[in-house]
Amino acid sequence: MSEEVADVVEASQTADSLDAVAPTSSPEEASDAAAVSDAGASSFDWDEWDGAVDGLPEEHRDIGGRISSNFDNRMNDKDAELTGLRELYDAMMMGNEDPRIAKYETDKTSFDERYNGLQEQFNDYKAQTEKAQEEAAQEWANKFEERHKDLLGDKQQRERMVELIDDGWDPEAAIQLLSMDEEFVKMAEEAKGDGVPDSYAIRLAEVSAGKSQVEKRKKSAPRPGARITAGATGAKNPQQALRTTGDTDTLDDRRMIAARAALRVAKGGRR
């Protein structure tokens, strides 16, 4: 009797283990589910459907909504196009103005308002920028004059400095020329006339005239006021046309203009 009970228990455990590893659904069952879904779609009464997505079978509502949205957008575009053509046709038949003209005029007015607003902002920004540049240039010119007050204190040197700036020399380069003799200045001006930048024109002249400069300095010191002569003139530069800060947009040019204006003031004076 005990052997029969043991066999029954073993058989029961084996069956439970087989149930545990058995698949939840077979391919046949999945196929049956798909068949049921297809059957539901085929049984749907399309003739009675009112076109609303909510009226579709639940499993088809998502794709139905996407298709409906796409066609709604296309139909709205077509409807707007047809409405415009209808209005144009009616206006032409009645001898009225093309209705599109009013729309274009409205668009143009809107564009003009936006453009004028941006232009006003730009003008304000430009004015602020120019003011800041002028103040910076004037501050630089004042400091430059103060830094070289010993050299610029002489009226003849001051006038010569103005001439050099008028000829297009950068103030920092021009101040170096004031302490050099005529031969050096002429060489530097010739180099500048050939398009060489100021700083390199001075270096080139230093190399060219260096030997004679050394020899002259050994023989005797230069006479006061004889280091620069009024007859030494350089090639004209486009910067000569710059007379006011309104003639340029660059800070360097504004500095040159400010320096020129400051040096034209009487000795010891300020604007």
pLDDT at 226: 40
Mean pLDDT (whole number) for 78-94 = 83
pLDDT at 113: 96
Handedness of CA 264, 266, 267, 269 (dihedral sign): negative
Q: Residue 249: which of 126, 136, 152 has the closest Cα?
A: 126
pLDDT at 206: 78
Mean pLDDT (whole number) for 32-59 = 70
Q: Residue 153: which of 242, 45, 269, 51 has the closest Cα?
A: 269
CB atoms within 10 A of CB 173: 19
Q: Residue 234: which of 170, 179, 172 has the closest Cα?
A: 170
Residues 6+ apart with CB under 8 A from 259: 140, 141, 144, 145, 165, 171
- Output 240 or 191, whichever has higher pLDDT: 191
H or E stretch at 65:
helix 61-94
pTM over the 0.75 mark: no
Q: What is the pLDDT of residues 9-22, one digit of tens each?
A: 454 555 455 454 44
Contact between residue 157 and residue 178 where contact means Cβ atoms under 8 Å apart: yes
pLDDT at 227: 41
Return the ∠ at Cα 214 (arms to 212 and 217), rounded to 5°: 105
Angle between helices 182-193 and 198-219 (to 10 degrees): 160
What are the C-alpha distances in Å from 207 to residues 42, 61, 88, 200, 203?
Answer: 102, 91, 82, 11, 6
- Output 163 or 33, whichever has higher pLDDT: 163
Of the ranges 183-187, 240-244, 267-271, which one carries the lowest mean pLDDT score? 267-271
Of the ranges 72-86, 220-234, 236-250, which one carries the lowest mean pLDDT score? 220-234
Give the tokens for residue 211: 């030997």
Mean pLDDT (whole number) for 211-225 = 52
What are the C-alpha distances in Å from 101 to residues 97, 98, 114?
Answer: 8, 6, 20
Work out the mean pLDDT of the chain and round it to a whole number.
73
pLDDT at residue 152 above 80?
yes
Q: What is the pLDDT of residues 54-81, one digit of tens each?
A: 888 888 888 888 888 888 888 888 888 8
